[in-house]
């Protein structure tokens, strides 16, 4: 019998943006974790008022990102675009629903990705985007016109959520560095923003640009996977790099004027400390914090290794980061127990967290069950922690 995870991307609380790619990889990870066969995607109509005070409806993202991305995961069985009132209120079991605790009356978002911290700790199987075969062939034919090894350079040219222009390419640096890359036998290929795909003015003289990749999500991913290396800043399309057979370097910058890019948000939601990688990314994805420089661009290329087909995860940079991962994971487990039945994944997480201090040699005095019991009768129903303990192998 075929089983499916019903996954809801509700536009009343979620943006029209590349965040939909993150949602898909999280839903796919949940499907794999629960041993289900397929994904059913429900896109719920609406316009959220986000914390920047603007309405997020955007037809370009809908047609150029959201819809085409649905064919990048083979597990997606069907797709529904519907009004909130049309969602069936038949109490779909919790274990067949993503995001956690979703309902039509009280929608929750599922695109932030905090649960990737748990996936990283438990070494879960990762989601992976898959390029359609016909697009793969076209991308290889396209790239065959260039000599030497091709590297892609992704340009973020919109100014939204980038007050200090840290997420945009630092053009003077790249102008100085591109000749050095070409001297080493590399052919740079620029992928621009969709709005600039057919701009009459190139970013750099005599450097090829690929408007097809700017306009076609599948083709962009195929280019990513078939070039030697990809350079990007932290932006939406980078999600394709992190969950595919692509080798990349992200120049990671923070911005205290943008809620989702400030250090507090990254620390609390992604367990990220300066110098670390994003959670649940592999060694195919290299992260350099700060603005790009000629030195670190060239050094990255010279030290690059073909990791395309490895699933080895990026490592922790310190015990402080491990402690942060464990703290966030404990909070997520507490939240799950607050409003859901105990699932097998909760048991597995509780068992791991109980052993983690010994595994990592950490000075944690309060064990996970003491932490959960402190919330019993307030957030967690009475007796639930004892029930969880009885199910664990300790």
| Residues 321-360: tens digit of each pLDDT | 999 999 999 999 999 999 889 999 999 999 999 999 999 9
Instruction: Choose among 151, 116, 115, 131: nearest CA to 314.
Output: 116
Question: What is the rounded CA–CA span in Å between residue 370 and residue 250?
Answer: 39
State the pLDDT at residue 57.
Answer: 53
Helices (H) and strands (E) in the chain, counts: 15, 9
The pLDDT of residue 55 is 47
State the pLDDT at residue 26. 98
At 89 the pLDDT is 64
| Positions in the chain whose pLDDT score sits under 70 | 1, 49-58, 89-91, 159-165, 306
pLDDT score for 52: 47
What pLDDT was estimated at residue 54? 44
Predicted model pTM:
0.94
Contact indicator for 50, 41 with CB cutoff of 8 Å: no
E-assigned strands of the chain?
A: 4-10, 38-44, 76-82, 97-98, 149-154, 186-191, 229-233, 248-252, 285-289
Nearest to 254 by CA among 245, 262, 246: 262
pLDDT given at position 163:
66
The per-residue pLDDT for 162 is 63
Q: Whole-angstrom Cα distance, residue 140 to residue 256?
A: 40
| CA-to-CA separations, 49 to 11, 54, 216, 307, in angstroms, rounded | 10, 6, 28, 41
CA dist 295 and 210 (Å) reads 26
DSSP per-residue string spanning 45-101:
----B-TTS-B---HHHIIIIIHHHTTS-TTEEEEEEE-GGGS--S---GGGEESTT
């Amino acid at each position: 019998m075929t089983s499916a995870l019903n996954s809801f991307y509700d536009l009343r609380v979620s943006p029209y943006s590349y965040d939909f790619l993150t949602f898909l990889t999280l839903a796919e990870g949940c499907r794999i974790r629960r041993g289900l066969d397929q994904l059913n995607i429900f896109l719920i109509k609406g316009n959220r008022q986000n914390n920047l005070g603007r309405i997020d409806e955007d037809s370009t993202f809908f047609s150029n990102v959201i819809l085409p991305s649905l064919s990048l995961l083979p597990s997606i069985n069907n797709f529904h675009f519907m009004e909130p009132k049309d969602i069936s209120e038949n109490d779909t079991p919790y274990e067949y629903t993503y995001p956690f605790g979703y309902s039509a009356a009280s929608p929750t978002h599922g695109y932030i990705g905090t649960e990737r911290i748990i996936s990283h700790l438990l070494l879960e199987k990762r989601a992976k985007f898959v390029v359609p075969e016909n697009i793969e062939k076209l991308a290889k034919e396209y790239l065959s016109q260039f000599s030497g090894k091709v590297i892609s350079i992704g340009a973020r040219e919109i100014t939204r959520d980038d007050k200090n222009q840290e997420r945009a390419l630092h053009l003077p640096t790249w102008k100085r560095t591109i000749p050095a890359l070409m001297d080493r036998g590399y052919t740079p290929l620029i992928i621009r923003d969709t709005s600039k795909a057919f701009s009459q003015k190139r970013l750099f003289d005599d450097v090829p640009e690929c408007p097809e990749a700017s306009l076609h999500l599948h083709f962009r991913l195929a280019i990513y996977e078939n070039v030697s290396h990809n350079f990007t800043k932290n932006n939406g399309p980078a999600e394709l790099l992190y969950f595919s057979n692509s080798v990349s370097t992200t120049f990671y910058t923070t911005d205290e004027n943008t809620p989702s890019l400030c250090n507090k948000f990254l620390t609390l939601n992604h367990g990220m400390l300066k110098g670390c990688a994003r959670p649940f990314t592999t060694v195919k994805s290299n992260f350099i914090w700060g603005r790009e420089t000629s030195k670190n661009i060239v050094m990255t290329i010279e030290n690059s290794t073909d990791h395309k087909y490895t699933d080895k995860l990026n490592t922790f940079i310190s015990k402080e980061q491990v402690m942060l991962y464990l703290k966030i994971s404990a909070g997520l487990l507490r939240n799950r127990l607050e409003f859901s039945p105990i699932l097998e994944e909760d048991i597995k997480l509780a068992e791991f967290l109980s052993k983690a201090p010994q595994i990592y040699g950490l000075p944690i005095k309060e064990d996970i069950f003491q932490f959960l019991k402190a919330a019993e009768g307030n957030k967690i129903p009475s007796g639930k922690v004892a029930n969880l303990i009885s199910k664990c192998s300790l």
